[in-house]
Every structure is written in C-alpha cells, then in structure tokens.
Amino acid sequence: EAGVVQSPRYKIIEKKQPVAFWCNPISGHNTLYWYLQNLGQGPELLIRYENEEAVDDSQLPKDRFSAERLKGVDSTLKIQPAELGDSAVYLCASSLDLGTSVAGELFFGEGSRLTVL
Amino acid sequence: KNEVEQSPQNLTAQEGEFITINCSYSVGISALHWLQQHPGGGIVSLFMLSSGKKKHGRLIATINIQEKHSSLHITASHPRDSAVYICAVKGRSDGGATNKLIFGTGTLLAVQP
C-alpha cells in the first residue's frame, strides 16, 4: 500500500506568488497533519484535521495560509502570497486514531520543499 | 521548559557501539513515537509505544509511563544509522487522547566508521 503521498516534491517561486501543496494520506486514516520544518529544526504544526474538521489550526498564519480537507481524505495547503520566510519543507502526516484513547501510528510523507526567491 | 526533552542533543559514536537516546516528557500521553530523519530526507516512524518495550532489528524502544521517560537503543551501530532521532508524544487530557503531537528537539546522531 502506498504511504502518505505529497506533491510537488519541490517548488521554487518568487515572493508574492501563490503556491499549493497536496497531500493524499494513507487510505482510511482519519487524522491528518500539516507541519512546517525549517532546516535543522523539528516539525512545527500548522494544522490538524480529524476527518474533515480542522481541530487545531492555532498555529496556522491565517492571513496568508489556508488549508482544506474536503471529504476527509485528501488535503491541500495554500500560501498566498508567499514570503521569503516561507521557504521550508512542508510535511503531511496521517494516522488512524480510534476514539479518544487509542492513538495510531504516525506516517509522514516525503515533504514538499518550498523555496521562495 | 519544553514539554518533551531529549538528551543528548548531539551524539557521536564509533561503529559498533551501543547507543541510547533519552526522552522525558511532562504531560499525560496516549502514545509516544520515535521518529528518524536522515539529512535531507523524510521522517520515518520507528516505533509507537504506550507501554513496555518494542524491538525491531537493532532498534529497541522502552517506555516507563510512571517515570514519564522513554529510551531508544541502537545496538551494533552503523554509519547508516546517522540521522536525527525525534521523540514525539501524543497528548492525553482527562477526557482522553487529544491527538496533539508534541515534538522533542531531536538528537543528531553521527556514527563514524
């Protein structure tokens, strides 16, 4: 079975341009995460979905970032307009979490590396 | 103080050495993950633990829920084990798991031949 699939793997854009990233989680996984990772640092949560509901978007810079997870499957993360400081790797992860007491194993995609010039 | 702390931050070992990386956390958890990230690479889940011990090949992970501590051991280390190892916990509130992940700062391991 395919793992978490992200695209594009690499994207280079000029500042003020829009960019979108796509994530296809593992089939059946109800929890989906978008993380931002800067070089040499750990992942920082942007948004977490449980099915189609965004249950934690407190760290998402809503003035320029938006995300959606229609039908609770695939998800897109958009930045408009991009700034120089947005250059980073954008990671998508998913897990199957059964109720409130059973946490599922976490699977990460390869990431989308964004360079803003 | 971070809710999840790892030690050491950097570790250099000789090939064949036994390696231990530690993770301490201060929150209630439903699970603890050990993750591996090679330089420039993606993140791979090594273990998910809620109690006891798990072993996979040369890797062993243990967790002590009472002491809020986990360790990742690598036996007979090899240069290909060189990577960042990250401890992440899934928070747990009184009402149950929150599914919120809290990451440690990572341990950069370099295994020299």
Structure confidence by residue, pLDDT tens digits, A22-76: 999 999 999 999 999 998 888 999 999 989 999 889 889 999 999 999 888 999 9
Q: Is the pLDDT of residue A103 over 70?
A: no
- Interface test with chain A among B4, B25, B43, by most A beta carbons within 10 Å: B43
Work out the mean pLDDT of chain B and round it to a whole number.
90
Residue type, B85: Y
Find the mean pLDDT for residues B43-50. Answer: 91
* Pairwise CB contact (< 8 Å): A48 & B100: yes
Contacts of A96 (CB under 8 A, 6+ apart): A26, A28, A29, A30, A31, A104, A105
Q: Is the pLDDT of residue B47 over 80?
A: yes
Joined tokens for residue A57: 């978007």
